[in-house]
Structure 1
Amino acid sequence: MPPAVKVHSKVAQQAVQDILTEEALSFLAALHRTFESTRQSLLVAREDAQRRWDSGAPFDFPKETADVRADPSWRCAPPAPGLEDRRVEITGPTDRKMVVNALNSGAKTFMADFEDSSSPTFANMVNGQVNLRDAICRQIDFETGGKSYKLTDTPAVLIVRPRGWHLDEPRVTVDNAPVSGSLFDFGIYFFHNAKELIKRGYGPYFYLPKMEHYLEARLWNDIFNFSQSFLGIPHGTIRATVLIETLPAAFHMEEILFELRDHSSGLNCGRWDYIFSFIKKRRADRSAILPDRKDVTMTVPFMDAYVRLLIQTCHRRKVAAMGGMAAQIPIKDDPKANEAVLEKVRQDKLREVTAGHDGTWIAHPLINKIAMEVFNNHMLGPNQYHIRREDVKVAAADLLNNKVPGKITEEGVRSNVSTSLAYTAAWIGGNGCIPLNYLMEDAATAEITRVQLWQWVKYGSRLDSGFLITANYLDGLIDELAPGVKKVAPGVKEEHVKTVAEYLKAQIRKEWPSEFLTSDFMPYLAVADGADPKWQKTSL
């Protein structure tokens, strides 16, 4: 180990030896020592901003950057090799089977996800790094269960999503402090693969999640410049797409692109996390209550405004405006229900391409054909940067307009409880991407369900029947539904369901909900992996 760098885990030892080499850890330590203080100050700034909003300060576009928004002359970097046409992107975790299947899916790109669709056990994180390195070197072929998995000659272009700024990686410390999960995922991947990717005609490409302010994008840009200099590769080789999946970031779209303009490959509508953030950031606003989550569609006012502004912003600066996730998965044993699911995907993708999006997300290889067909029929060139959407006028009030038709129903409440229990229990058991009710769910779903339950209790919401939603009422539903979780999510352990049930009961009684359930449970994973308990919070 380099001086003052320690790995606090005994899991995945072979992968650790392969990936956490002395040279890679030295690079990670350099990133940590250079940028950690800035990360911490930005996280404090998030807390300060939340206190202002809680006190009634308005959400608005930043006044100090009005000149950036008004200046029509600046543009982002042109598309990097392999990113000119991104009409269908498949996403998923970094396990070996998923990596091969996604790269072979026929989609244009594969977003390999260390974030919301991965449970960050240390084994998942380091084995994922091994799998991506092997895929890039074309050494990932393997056999299991009598079946061969072999990479095609023309796999999808690889994009990697590291964890968000809020998450630590407590299994690795530098100078007695945990490193950032973002820097760990980015740094280890970049160090091992950047030069090989360039040699093969591409580059290190990333998706950046959960940002809330343009200064957080500036930090990423500084990291990119530092890292390119460290390895001696040309500046601008890195490309990054930013997920606009927090309410504050919707007011900073132009500025985020400006900060990353030499490394930018566009913005993405992270729709599910955006809904979660909309509720969480407006937690002190009793007028911001939303109905059943199934009613919060992309056509409701605040979501529609966010999409239109994102497309206009990206195309004004000549970068990709990526659409959202089709989480649907095929229903094999019911042709009629399966066709209804596929039609829902078709209509969603038609809405995106006709609005001006340059591509979309899918979660399952069998959905690729539908998404590709819709975009092929309606997007004849590699992208739609020429569609400027100059007709769009989005004000701050439009991004906050939560006039959503719908009701809070008993079915919706029960669905939220069941989904929250099932997904979170799977997550702490090491699985961050699970099928539920024919949808491929990740952490964003669990976050929406958690904060909705909190919001309804906090503000005394009522079911459409008039029944008052209380903490005691939800306690009863949690106790009723917890025993059935193993049926909807096979493989989930009973002990994890019990832990999550207790957590959810505590969450709905808090003055404010936790920022992220993943932050709450990260210490649970770290201690289970062998990290020293002294580095961890002692309770949820």
Structure 2
Amino acid sequence: MSAAPRSAVPEARPAPGAAPAPDLLDRDALVLLAGLHQRFESRRRRLLAARRERQAVFDAGGLPDFRADTRAIRDGDWRVAPLPRALLDRRVEITGPVDPKMVINALNSGANCYMADFEDSTAPTWDALLAGQRALREAVGGTLAFDADNGKSYRLKPEADRAVLIVRPRGWHLDEKHLLVEGVRISASLFDAGLFCLHNGAALAAKDRGPYLYLPKLQSMEEAALWNDVLTHIEQALGLPAECIKVTVLIETLPAVFEMDEILHALRDRVAGLNCGRWDYIFSYIKTFRAHRDRALPERGQVGMTQPFLKAYSELLVRTCHRRGAHAMGGMAAQIPVSGDPEANEAALARVRADKEREARAGHDGTWVAHPALVPLAKEIFDAVMHGPNQHDVVRDDAVADRDALIGPPPGTITRAGFEGNVEVCVRYLAAWLDGNGCVPIHWLMEDAATAEIARAQLWQWLHARDLGGDPACLDDGTLIDDRLFGQALLDLPSRLAAQGPIPGAGRVAEAIGMLGELTRSDTLEEFLTLSAYERLA
């Protein structure tokens, strides 16, 4: 990138106390990031304000719906740009954080693609973010290596045998406190995407490998259009080919499901597909309807993809994508192999198999797994159904854009185990996150920020049911869910956790319990758990 005059852009620099990292944040990087901030920050702020305004309508009793002003886009006969060769076959994608060991294992896993996650799987300490950017740069260059303390060495396979790299930057709602532009925090989205493209864009473009991104937490076509303009700016600033940066959008918010056509249209020259980000989608459903007592969900374990509102969402996504020539990607299987218990392991694999068979039969073009051991199983299932590189010929005309079907609450109950499980998952995940670990195995499920958010939002909604104008929430045995029950669950948790042996973030459990207590008892539901927790990270 050609150096711009210092007067052309505002000054960007690491915040006081943050390591300077000159190998990543050189002058070209600081100029690029400052320029992105200068051009797009005010627009980002307006769109975040629009989110709050929309939520206020929902809190007052309004319901999300398809937009009248964009009907022509939904009804129009248009398609997205042709997909690049590297993204034609995405039948299995593995996801995970960006530490060097995970990057190597994921790229070597046999999956078609690896989503390197700066969002829900990474606790964004400054050290972790810098280490992740370095790991990805070395992976793109083919030099990444990792030697564990136990003497085991990890090395990359030859490039032809590696998964295609797709990077998920953090969402529009997050700031990056460690880099300031004229004293103001930069957008975490701009930081993650800009820095990755700066250091890897030319090398990836030369290989016809992107750069490729996964875009999280979008709520509207306007937010998608902002991403399109940001990426165009990055391409021009770095001298990259136009539209070489391809994106896949996670449909993981309830408002976004009503704008899938519009989001594809806003990104039509660079979008490769949409993904069923199911866990964040469930969280968004709870958050959107936080003031609607009649739409409270049962406990998390009962909210599976066969529930009518989730089935309608995933099938409409398939129909929308295939109509436009884009991939319809399935969601995450959170199960991980159960070591030392063959029976439990077989039960976990059976749940994964059933989920992936449902996705393949529904017409999805690929799916996600969280563990390398699940890659062969997912491939076997999709290979049996998908005889070409994708299933774009599955049109799903039976899936209709029915608002009531998309927002209908499922039946179910709240068991004591489900209630206490929500408390445990929240505390254990938050403790690990505060300790720098954003992806945590808990009871043989890989929990990340999205699953912890479901548990946290449910606890808030159950505890505040009476305040929301409805009947109080109760367990299935009739026990009232109130502050007394919640407080006792918090009080009992340390001894329960001690009986399980060492856990990640054990030293921050007390802090996590205190935070969960404050967040759950608050009169308002915090938009994201990670917003307040972020201020406690180094």
Give the structure-2-normalised TM-score.
Answer: 0.95
Deviations along 1:365-396, one digit per CA (max 9) or x if unpaired, are 00001000000111000000111111221311
2:520 aligned residue: 508
Give the partner amino acid of 1:408.
I
Q: Is the 8 A contact 1:471 1:505 kept in 2?
A: no
Give the partner amino acid of 2:24.
I
Aligned length in residues: 522
* CA spacing shift, 1:167–1:125, aligned 2, 3 Å: same
- Counting only pairs closer than 5 Å after superposition, residues 225-374 of structure 1 correspond to structure 2 as 225-374=232-381
1:178 aligned residue: 185
Q: Is the 8 A contact 2:433 2:505 kept in 1?
A: no
Report the alpha carbon displacement of residue 119 of structure 1 after superposing the two structures with TM: 0.3
- Counting only pairs closer than 5 Å after superposition, residues 54-73 of structure 1 correspond to structure 2 as 54-72=59-77
Q: Is the 8 A contact 1:422 1:489 kept in 2?
A: no
Aligned equivalents of 2:499, 2:431: Cα separation in 1 = 13
- Counting only pairs closer than 5 Å after superposition, residues 16-31 of structure 1 correspond to structure 2 as 16-31=21-36
Report the alpha carbon displacement of residue 245 of structure 1 after superposing the two structures with TM: 0.5
Aligned equivalents of 2:499, 2:156: Cα separation in 1 = 34
Give the partner amino acid of 1:447.
E
* CA spacing shift, 1:263–1:489, aligned 2, 3 Å: farther
Aligned equivalents of 1:220, 1:524: Cα separation in 2 = 29
Q: Is the 8 A contact 1:238 1:263 kept in 2?
A: yes
Give the partner amino acid of 1:391.
D
1:537 aligned residue: none
2:511 aligned residue: 499
Report the alpha carbon displacement of residue 489 of structure 1 after superposing the two structures with TM: 7.9
Give the partner amino acid of 1:138.
G
2:207 is equivalent to residue 197 of structure 1:
no
* CA spacing shift, 1:86–1:9, aligned 2, 3 Å: farther
Aligned equivalents of 1:518, 1:78: Cα separation in 2 = 37
Report the alpha carbon displacement of residue 340 of structure 1 after superposing the two structures with TM: 1.2
Aligned equivalents of 1:520, 1:441: Cα separation in 2 = 19
1:111 aligned residue: 115
1:475 aligned residue: 487
* CA spacing shift, 1:54–1:489, aligned 2, 3 Å: farther
Q: Is the 8 A contact 1:315 1:386 kept in 2?
A: yes
Aligned equivalents of 1:440, 1:290: Cα separation in 2 = 22
Deviations along 1:238-262, one digit per CA (max 9) or x if unpaired, are 1110000011011110000000000
Pairing partner for 2:165 from 158, 161, 184: 158
Report the alpha carbon displacement of residue 282 of structure 1 after superposing the two structures with TM: 0.5
Deviations along 1:119-156, one digit per CA (max 9) or x if unpaired, are 00011111100000000000102323322211111210
Q: Is the 8 A contact 1:88 1:108 kept in 2?
A: yes
2:151 aligned residue: 146
Q: Is the 8 A contact 1:426 1:489 kept in 2?
A: no
Report the alpha carbon displacement of residue 491 of structure 1 after superposing the two structures with TM: 4.8
1:430 aligned residue: 436
Q: Is the 8 A contact 1:471 1:508 kept in 2?
A: no
1:454 aligned residue: 460
1:408 aligned residue: 414
SS at match of 2:85: coil
Aligned equivalents of 2:137, 2:48: Cα separation in 1 = 31
Aligned equivalents of 2:498, 2:141: Cα separation in 1 = 39
2:217 is equivalent to residue 210 of structure 1:
yes
Report the alpha carbon displacement of residue 492 of structure 1 after superposing the two structures with TM: 3.8
Aligned equivalents of 2:16, 2:359: Cα separation in 1 = 44
1:82 aligned residue: 86
Deviates more, 1:509-518 or 1:266-275: 509-518
Give the partner amino acid of 1:234.
P
Give the partner amino acid of 1:116.
D
Give the structure-1-normalised TM-score.
Answer: 0.94
Report the alpha carbon displacement of residue 427 of structure 1 after superposing the two structures with TM: 0.4
* CA spacing shift, 1:488–1:394, aligned 2, 3 Å: farther
Give the partner amino acid of 1:48.
E
Give the partner amino acid of 1:140.
L
Aligned equivalents of 1:494, 1:371: Cα separation in 2 = 33
Give the partner amino acid of 2:520.
I
Report the alpha carbon displacement of residue 201 of structure 1 after superposing the two structures with TM: 2.8
Report the alpha carbon displacement of residue 493 of structure 1 after superposing the two structures with TM: 4.3
* CA spacing shift, 1:464–1:40, aligned 2, 3 Å: same
1:442 aligned residue: 448
* CA spacing shift, 1:253–1:498, aligned 2, 3 Å: same
2:468 aligned residue: none
Give the partner amino acid of 1:201.
D
TM superposition outliers: structure 1 runs of 4+ over 4 Å: 9-13, 486-489
Q: Is the 8 A contact 2:431 2:509 kept in 1?
A: yes
Give the partner amino acid of 1:115.
E
* CA spacing shift, 1:58–1:143, aligned 2, 3 Å: closer
Give the partner amino acid of 1:67.
A
Deviates more, 1:213-222 or 1:224-233: 224-233
1:535 aligned residue: none
2:37 is equivalent to residue 32 of structure 1:
yes
Pairing partner for 2:52 from 8, 23, 47: 47
Report the alpha carbon displacement of residue 292 of structure 1 after superposing the two structures with TM: 1.3
Report the alpha carbon displacement of residue 68 of structure 1 after superposing the two structures with TM: 0.2
Aligned equivalents of 2:108, 2:346: Cα separation in 1 = 24
Aligned equivalents of 2:120, 2:82: Cα separation in 1 = 28
Report the alpha carbon displacement of residue 203 of structure 1 after superposing the two structures with TM: 1.2
* CA spacing shift, 1:51–1:131, aligned 2, 3 Å: same
Give the partner amino acid of 1:490.
P
Q: Is the 8 A contact 1:84 1:382 kept in 2?
A: yes
Report the alpha carbon displacement of residue 184 of structure 1 after superposing the two structures with TM: 0.4
SS at match of 1:63: coil
Aligned equivalents of 1:117, 1:331: Cα separation in 2 = 21
Q: Is the 8 A contact 1:408 1:464 kept in 2?
A: yes
SS at match of 1:297: coil
Structure 2 unaligned runs (5+)? 466-471
Report the alpha carbon displacement of residue 487 of structure 1 after superposing the two structures with TM: 5.7
SS at match of 2:242: coil
Deviations along 1:261-312, one digit per CA (max 9) or x if unpaired, are 0010110000001000000110111101111110000011110110011000
Aligned equivalents of 2:178, 2:82: Cα separation in 1 = 38
Aligned equivalents of 1:288, 1:200: Cα separation in 2 = 48
Give the partner amino acid of 2:536.
Y
Aligned equivalents of 2:193, 2:498: Cα separation in 1 = 34
Report the alpha carbon displacement of residue 170 of structure 1 after superposing the two structures with TM: 0.7
SS at match of 2:89: coil
Deviates more, 1:503-512 or 1:324-333: 503-512
1:135 aligned residue: 139
Q: Is the 8 A contact 1:283 1:512 kept in 2?
A: no
Deviations along 1:466-506, one digit per CA (max 9) or x if unpaired, are 11000121011011113443665835445521222112112
Structure 1 unaligned runs (5+)? 530-540
Aligned equivalents of 2:435, 2:496: Cα separation in 1 = 17
